[in-house]
Amino acid sequence: MRIGDRRPAIDWPTAIEQGAPPTLAVWKFASCDGCQLTILDCEDQLLAIADRVRIAYFPEATSGSVDGPYDISLVEGSITTPGDRERIAEIRQASRLLVTIGACATAGGIQALRNGADIEEFTSIVYAQPSYIDVLADSTPISDHVTVDLELRGCPIDPGQLVGVLAALLNRHLVRPPTTSVCVECKATGAACVLVASATPCLGPITQGGCGALCPGFDRGCYGCFGPKEHPNVTGLRRQFAAIGVDDDATDRLLSTFNVAAFADAEQAGGSEP
């Protein structure tokens, strides 16, 4: 399912209809654990729904686990090894709803900087026994391998968006995350446009909103941690950057962070004017 799609009321299992709380599982692949920590940081908000969900698997929070199937699976991290590829297929099969969380799971993450490079050269330089390393050439998002029901962007995810999605799921609905740019959030929050006011390079015009314009709110340019919005015009933003003295090399470095692969794909595909 594409980002922003909305489905009708979810056909929950009979056990849940009879009053049993839905089971929630949280899974990790190649990542820094930041999105899982964001879940744990939502202490007060999660208490409000704690009695309506049963945590079946979440090693970051508890050593206990319950066998699937699972009603809701939250997946952090990108697919980087053959083992990852097999495990995500098993998780998908065991999950009624699969929600990817964070830049790694939705776009391949910072580790996608290696995509298109010579992975054998890397491993020969870093490891004494590179033959022991079983790794894929590219770091890819979960949606490249299995069907994803909903994506939550960010590095890390936004706590308010996460809690809102979980609350909606418990009411048997999939919510529609914003598909507008960070610029819209700057206007909504009253943050000054740093690109116009101070000639600060900012990826806001091509980045999906959802963070509440966090960086521009502190007079910093957007770093694009929520990934490209729908139909981003990267070429147009390059022209704007050039007008304020930012060359293509500096722009490439700015794009080559949290969602490097997604921005590269978006630029190759082209887009409308921002």
pLDDT tens, residue by residue, 49-87: 777 888 999 999 888 898 999 999 999 999 999 999 999
Beta bridge partners of 72: 24, 97
Mean predicted confidence (pLDDT) in 154-159: 94
Whether 29 has a pLDDT exceeding 50, the answer reads: yes
Domains of the chain: 14-170 (3.40.50.700), 182-269 (no CATH)
- pLDDT in the model for residue 267: 92
pTM, rounded to two decimals = 0.89
Write down the pLDDT at residue 271.
57
For residue 79, which phi and psi values (nearest 5 degrees)? -95, 120
Average pLDDT, the chain: 89
Q: Which of 78-82, 197-201, 265-269 has the lowest mean pLDDT?
A: 265-269
Integer Cα distance of 42 and 265 in angstroms:
33
Q: What is the pLDDT of residues 83-112, one digit of tens each?
A: 999 999 999 999 999 999 999 999 999 999
What pLDDT is attached to residue 13? 43
